[in-house]
């Protein structure tokens, strides 16, 4: 069951390359088309991270075709911030920026503390484990916020 008050969610982070694309893809898998979901970053200057693609593929979530976009590019492509009921910031920097951008707008903003896995681990398996931890944390937050007893 989804939160019926929420019809559109934007996930955001710093570069829209790891955390927010993961959240977008995982949310779409968990709620289907019941809620419109997008993601953006302070900057949209990176391709989606290969480790994020790998750990989401483990759950049947495809990220390799994701196009990284900034808040400005999101609006240029027709998704005004006012079109979202909720913006979920996954980093402190994106939370600060989205609060500035949505000041005076009728959109709720939440911050889900979500670590940056890029500097964790010295080998491939350690890095994958760090990315899995982030992925699983996002899943847990989505389930807690939007769903009751949803399978992954």
Give pLDDT tens digits for 16-52.
Answer: 999 999 999 999 999 988 899 999 999 977 789 999 9
Number of structural domains in the chain: 1
pLDDT at residue 74, rounded to an integer:
84
Q: Give a yes or no: residue 77 inside a domain.
A: yes
d(CA 4, CA 21): 23
Q: Comparing 88 with 81, which gets the higher pLDDT? A: 88
Task: Assess contact for 35 and 85: CB atoms under 8 A.
Answer: no
* pLDDT of residue 149 exceeding 60: no
Half-sphere exposure of 19 (CA within 13 A, CB side): 30
- Domain span including residue 36: 8-146
The CATH number assigned to the domain holding 22 equals 3.40.50.2300
């Amino acid at each position: 069951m989804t939160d019926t008050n929420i019809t559109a969610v934007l996930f955001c982070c710093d570069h829209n390359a790891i955390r927010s694309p993961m959240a977008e893809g995982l949310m779409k898998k968990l709620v289907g088309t019941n809620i419109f979901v997008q993601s953006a970053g302070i900057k949209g200057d990176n391709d989606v991270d290969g480790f994020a693609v790998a750990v989401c593929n483990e759950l049947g979530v495809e990220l390799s075709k994701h196009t990284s976009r900034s808040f400005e590019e999101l609006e240029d492509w027709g998704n005004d911030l006012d079109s979202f009921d909720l913006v979920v910031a996954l980093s402190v920097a994106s939370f600060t920026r989205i609060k500035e951008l949505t000041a005076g707008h009728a959109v709720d903003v939440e911050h889900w503390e979500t670590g940056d896995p890029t500097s964790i681990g010295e080998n491939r398996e350690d890095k994958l484990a760090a990315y899995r931890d982030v992925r699983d944390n996002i899943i847990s937050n989505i389930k807690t916020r939007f769903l009751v007893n949803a399978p992954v």
